[in-house]
Amino acid sequence: MKDFYGTKLETPFMLGTAQYPSPAILSNAFKRSGASVATVSLRREASDAKAGQDFWQLIKELNVHILPNTAGCHTVKEAVTTAHMAREIFGTPWIKLEVIGEEDTLQPDVFGLVEAARILSEEGFQVFPYTTEDLVVADKLVDAGCRVLMPWGAPIGSGMGLNNVFGLRALRSHFPDIPLVVDAGLGLPSQAAQAMELGMDAILLNTAVSKAGDPAKMAEAFALAIRSGQLAEQADPMQPRDMASPSTPLLGKAFLD
């Protein structure tokens, strides 16, 4: 597994911390998932002083890497300001950078994203940009200092899976040395397995687990699927072909006259 700004993750699973029915269910979901990274919204942490402290204590007890995010930011200034606040509160240079440009799809504003990524990289942040699968945008993000790319699978919270398999495969081919994390849009473990089979380095999701009838069981299901897809990609799977190929060889087969 590739390193993320010099950090080797124990598992390629990053899990969000929002919208769980209770703190106990959140904690149990993380335990069952084996996730190595928790994404945390600054708004959730700071919305209420006491509640924020209790939530932060819960996250620390998960004993995982913390990836603060700039969720809900729509401008470069807002995202950069939020990132600085997150670094102060959470004590990490990691930041999942979101600059939202369209309300219905929550599609990233890629122009603002590149600008914010450059500013934050120059200020010592280690940026994890939430982006589209566009190759040109990805190249500009790398030029801006990003050493990780987080292309979406589909719009946030949609559960539609991988809307552009070709685009993700092209990203993998063009950026073989950059860690790629599919972020957003996954609804089923099978979709996570598919992403890992494409050669992605990790999966980040939230809604598919937190909104499941049994979040802990769904978290474990995703963990197993991610591991399965990872093993499948490492095993050098067979490639599709147009014609049938017999699995039982004809050599040595008895023929009757």
Q: Which residues contact 185 (CB under 8 A, 6 or more apart)?
A: 152, 153, 154, 155, 156, 157, 158, 159, 160, 161, 162, 163
* Spatial distance between the Cα atoms of 8 and 66, rounded to a whole number of angstroms: 14
Q: What is the pLDDT along the chain (257 residues), one digit of tens a residue?
A: 789 999 999 999 999 999 999 999 999 999 999 999 999 987 644 545 555 677 888 888 889 999 999 999 999 999 999 999 999 989 999 999 999 998 888 899 999 999 999 999 999 999 999 999 999 999 999 999 999 999 999 999 999 999 999 999 999 999 999 999 999 999 999 999 999 999 999 999 999 999 999 999 999 999 999 999 999 999 988 888 888 877 776 666 665 66
Q: Which of 147, 136, 111 is nearest to 7 (CA)?
A: 147
**Residue 96 annotated to the active site:** yes
* Spatial distance between the Cα atoms of 94 and 66, rounded to a whole number of angstroms: 8
> What single letter denotes the amino acid at residue 62?
L
Strand partners, 126: 94
Q: Which of 210, 252, 234 is nearest to 26 (CA)?
A: 210
* Token pair recorded at residue 82: 């939020």
End-to-end CA gap in the chain? 57
The response to whether 39 counts as a known ligand-binding position is: no
Q: Which residues contact 128 (CB under 8 A, 6 or more apart)?
A: 4, 67, 94, 95, 96, 97, 146, 148, 150, 181
- Residue 47 confidence (pLDDT): 47
- Residue 56 confidence (pLDDT): 82
Q: How many other C-beta atoms are found inside a 10 Å radius of the C-beta of residue 123?
A: 13
- Residue 98 confidence (pLDDT): 96
The response to whether 187 counts as a known ligand-binding position is: no
- Residue 48 confidence (pLDDT): 52
- CA 141 from centre of chain: 17
- Residue 43 confidence (pLDDT): 63
The response to whether 34 counts as a known ligand-binding position is: no
pTM confidence score: 0.90
- Please tell me which residue in 50, 77, 96, 140 is annotated as part of the active site: 96
Residue 10's SS3 state is coil
* Rg of the chain, C-alpha, whole Å: 20
* Spatial distance between the Cα atoms of 60 and 64, rounded to a whole number of angstroms: 7
The response to whether 206 counts as a known ligand-binding position is: yes
The response to whether 82 counts as a known ligand-binding position is: no
